[in-house]
Amino acid sequence: MTPDTILPMIFGRIGLDSLPFVPAILNPSTSEFIAAGAAGVVFLGAFIVLGVVTWFGWWGPLWRDWLTSTDHKRIGIMYIVLALVMMARGVIEGALMRVQQGVGLDGGFLSDGHFSELFSTHGTIMIFFVAMPFISGVINYVMPLQIGARDVSFPVLNQISLALTAVGAALIMISLILGKFSTGGWPAYPPYTGLAFNPGPGPDYWIWSVGIAGLGSTLSGINFAVTIYKERAPGMTLFRMPLFTWTVLCTAIIMVFAMPPLTVATATLALDRYLDFHFYTNDLGGNMMNYVNLFWLFGHPEVYLLILPAYGIFSEVIATYSGKRLYGYMSLVVATMSISVLSFTVWLHHFFTMGQSANVNIAFGIASMFIAVPTGVKVYDWMATMYRGRIRFSVPMVYATGFLMLFVIGGLTGVMLANPTISFQVHNTLFLVAHFHNVIIPGVLFGLLAGYHYWFPKAFGFRLNTRWGYITAVLWIVGFCVTFFPLYVLGLMGMPRRSVSFTDPSFEPLTLIAMGGAMLVLMALSSLMIQLWISVRDRATAQVPLGDPWNGRTLEWSIPSPPPEYNFAVIPQVWSRDAFAADKEAGIAYQEPETYDAIAVPSNTSIGMVVCIGGVLLGLGMVWYMWWLAAVSFLGIVGAFIVRSFQTDTHRIIPAAQVARDHRVWLAQIAASPEVTRAQECSPANRGRAMNERPEPSL
C-alpha cells in the first residue's frame, strides 16, 4: 500500500486545495480574498468562543445547563441563538450580493462562481437555518407556557431535533472552510446539481445539511402537534387556545406533511449522485420535472409553515398592546386552517412556465389566489383588533405596523404572481426576489423580532432596551423598503435573478439604491446586537421578575420571569379564552393553590450531543467520500440509541416542598409590589405587575 492509495481511503476527496486559503494565495483576487476571509472569520469565531468558554470555566455549566438540557425553554433559547448567529452570516451574504449588483454594471468584484455560491448559501441559510430555527425556538419557548404545560410531550426528541438542525448549520459553516458550497440555488434543481454538471462536494453539502435539518423539523412537527393535542391544561379546549398556539398547531401539521417531500427530494438526489440512480439525470429515463414537483410540494407549504407562527405572534402582540381582546378569533382560526390546507394545493405556481397545459396552470393559479382571501381576512381582523383599543406604540407594535403596511404589498404582488399570464413575464426575475423577500421579511422576520422583543422579558427576567429597539425596528423597515422596492422595478424592467452582473446601464441607479438599502439592513442587524448588549448591561433598571410586564392576556404571563424549570407550580385551570386576562379581570390571579405536588422533570441526557457530533461527522464523511467515517458515525448514533433504550431512570423529582417554597416567595413579591399603569410600561417602575385599566364607567 502506498500513500497514494491510503490517503484517499482516509481523507476521501479532501485535498489541499479544498482549503480556501490555498486558492487565495495561488490565484489572488478579490473574490478569493473574501472567501478566505470568511473562512478566517469562522475559524476565529470558533476559536474565540472556545477560548472564552474555557477562560471563564463555562464548560461545566454549558454542558449541564444547556447542551444536555431537555427543558423546552433552554432548547428554545438555543434554537434562537443558532438562528441569530446564522442570520448574521445570511444578512452579510445578502448585503454582499447587493453590493456586487450595485457595482455590477459590466463586472463587479465577485467572480461568477463565488456569487452563485453566495445566493445558494444565502437562501439555504435564511430558510433552513434562520427562519426555521428561530420559529422552532419561539414555538419551543412559548407554546408549552401558553397551554399551561410543564414541557413538550417528548423532551428528549426535542433535544434531538435541535441537534439535527445544528448538524445542518454546522455543515454549512464548515463548507466555508472546507471546499465550496453548491451553486445551484436553494432549491438545487437537477440536472444542474447532478453529477454530470457538478461533480464537486457543493451539492453534497446542500443535500446533507438540508436533508438532516429537515429530519429534525419533521420530528419537531410531531412533537409540537402531540404537545398541543395532549398537554393542554384542564379547561383549555381547542377553541380557548391562544391564537399563537393555533398557528403552531397548523405549522406542526404542515411540518409533518410537508417535510417528507423534502426528505424524498434530497434522498433521491443523493441516490442519483452517490449510487448512480437515474431519478433526475438527463440520460436513461431520468425526469428532472419530478424533482421540481417534489421540492415545491415541500417548498410551498414551507413558506406557510414559516408565516403562520408569525401571524400568531402578531395576533398576540396586537391584542396585548391594544389592550383589547383579539377581534374575530373564530375567523382567524378558520383562516389559519384554510391557509394550511390550501398551502398543499398550490405548489405548481412555482413553475407555471414548465410547459404544462393551460388548464393545469389555471387550476393552480386560482387555488393560489384563493389563499389571499383568508390572508386578507387576517389583516382586517388585526385592524379591527386595534380599532377602539388603547394602543401603546411599543417596539413590537412598530414591527406589527411595518408588517401590516408592507405585507399587503407583498400580498398584492403575490396575487399578481398567481396569474400565469404575469408569472410568464416576471418569473425568475428580481420581481420574484422582491416578492418573496416582501412576504418573508415583513412577515416572518418582523413577526419573529416582534416576538423576540415581546417574550424576551419572560425568558430572561428583564426588558430589552426600548430606544435601541425603536432604532432597530425603523432601520429594518426602512432598510427593507429601500432594498427591495427597487428590485420590483428592476424585475419589471427585465433583470433576471441570480445575475452577477448586467450590461443595461438603466439598471444601475436602482441597483445602487438597493445597495444603500442593504447597508441599512446591515445597520439594523448591528443595531439588534447593540440593543442586546445595552439591554444586558443595563438590565438592573429593567427587571420584571413578577412576570407580567405588558399586561399580557395568556398563561405565559401568569408565572415568574424567568419561569422555574417546571413552568407552573400548579397546573392552571382554564375557564375561558385569554385565561390570564380573565383571571386578572375577575381578581383571581396570583392566588395561592391549596396543595402542591412533587413534579417529575426529565433528567439531562447527552444523546442530543451524540447525534449532533455524530451527525456532523456522518455528513462530512458523506460529502468528502470518507466512507469509514460515515459508517462509524452512523453506527455510533444507532448504538447510542440502543444503549439509551436500556436506561430506565429518565426523570428527576422536584419535591413539593421546594415547589411551594419558591412559589410562595414569588407570591409574596407580587403582593408587595404596586401595580403599574401602561404609561409606565417602559420605566424602571414596571417590575412585571400590571394594573388592569378599564374604560371609565361613564362610557
Partner 1 sequence: MSELRVTALNSCCALSKRLVGSVLMLTLLTGCTDIADSFLDPHGPIAAAQKLHFMRVTGLTMIAVAPVLIFVPLILWRFRYRNQRARYLPDWEYSAPLEIVMWGVPAAIIVALSTMLWHSTKALDPYRPLVSDQPPLNVQVVGLDWKWLFLYPEQGIATVGELAFPAGRPVALTLTSDTVMQSFLISALAGQIYVMPGMTTKLQLLADAPGRFEGENTQFNGTGFVHQKFPAIAMTDTDFDAWVNSVKSDGIVLDDSSYGVLAAPSTEAEAHQILATSSMPDNALYFSPTQPDLFSAITHRYHQGRPIPPNAQPGSAAFAPPRAEDTPKPAAETETPQ
Partner 2 sequence: MTQFERKHPGLNLGSHHGAAHDQAEALVFGFWVFLMSDLIIFGLMFATYITMQGPMAEAGGPGPAQLYDLRSAWIQTLLLLTSSLTFGLASLAMRHKHGVAPVVVPLVVTLGLGLTFLGFELHDFQGMLAQGAGPGRSGFLSAFFGLVPLHGLHVTAGCIWLMVMLAQIAVFGLSDMVKLRLLRLGLFWHFLDIIWIGIFSIVYLAGLTG
CB 413 within 8 A of CB 348: no
Site for partner 1 in 293-352 (CB under 8 A): 322-331, 351
Using rule CB under 8 A, residue 264 touches partner 2: yes
Distances in Å between the Cα of 190 and the Cα atoms of 174, 263, 311, 631 are: 23, 15, 34, 27
- In the list partner 1, partner 2, none, the entry touching 59 (Cβ below 5 to 8 angstroms by class) is none
What gap in Å lies between CA 68 and CA 650, rounded to an integer?
13
113 is in the binding site of which of partner 1, partner 2, none (Cβ under 5 to 8 A by kind)? partner 1
For cell 428583564, name the residue: 462
Segment near partner 1 (CB under 8 A), from 2-10, 129-137, 426-434, 455-463?
Answer: 426-434
How far is residue 277's CA from residue 279's CA, in Å, rounded to a whole number? 6
656 near partner 1 (CB under 8 A): no
148: left (phi over 0), alpha (psi -120 to 50) or beta: left
504 binds, options partner 1, partner 2, none, Cβ within 5 to 8 A by partner type: partner 1
- Cell 430506565 maps to which residue? 648
Partner that binds at residue 588, options partner 1, partner 2, none, CB closer than 5 to 8 Å by kind: none
CB closer to partner 1, 372 vs 640: 372
Return the one option of partner 1, partner 2, none that residue 644 interacts with (CB less than 5 to 8 A, by type).
none
154 binds partner 2 per the rule CB under 8 A: yes
Instruction: Using the minimum distance from each CB to partner 2, give the nearer residue, 227 or 551.
Output: 227
Is 587 exposed, middle or buried (CB count within 10 Å of its CB: 0-12, 13-18, 19+)? exposed
Contact assessment for residue 159 and residue 99, using Cβ atoms and an 8 Å cutoff = no
Is residue 441 within 8 Å of residue 308, measured between CB atoms? no
Distance CA 376, CA 250 (A): 18
Footprint on residues 287-306 left by partner 2 (CB under 8 A): 287, 290, 294, 297
CA 57 to chain centre: 31
- Residue 592 as a binder of partner 2 (CB under 8 A): the answer is no
Contacts of 183 (CB under 8 A, 6+ apart): 113, 116, 117, 120, 198, 202
Q: If DSSP codes are grouped into helix, strand and coil, which group holds residue 58?
A: coil
279 binds partner 2 (CB under 8 A): yes
642: partner contacted, choices partner 2, partner 1, none (Cβ within 5-8 A by kind): partner 2
Quick note: the x/- pattern for partner 1 over 449-488, rule CB under 8 A, is ---------------------------------------x
Residue 639 binds which entry of partner 2, partner 1, none, CB below 5-8 Å type-dependent: none
124 binds partner 1 (CB under 8 A): no
Q: Which is nearer to partner 1, 201 or 328 (CB)?
A: 328
Asked if 29 interacts with partner 2 (CB under 8 A), we say no
Q: Give min distance, CB of 11 to partner 1, in A.
A: 23
User: What gap in Å lies between CA 496 and CA 101, rounded to an integer?
Assistant: 12
Please choose, from the candidates 249, 148, 232, the residue with its C-alpha nearest in 3D space to the C-alpha of residue 556.
148
Residue 11 interacting with partner 1 (CB under 8 A) = no
List interacting residues with partner 2 (CB under 8 A).
Answer: 153-154, 218, 221-223, 225-226, 229-231, 256-257, 259-261, 263-264, 268, 271-272, 275-279, 281, 283-287, 290, 294, 297, 600, 642, 645-646, 648
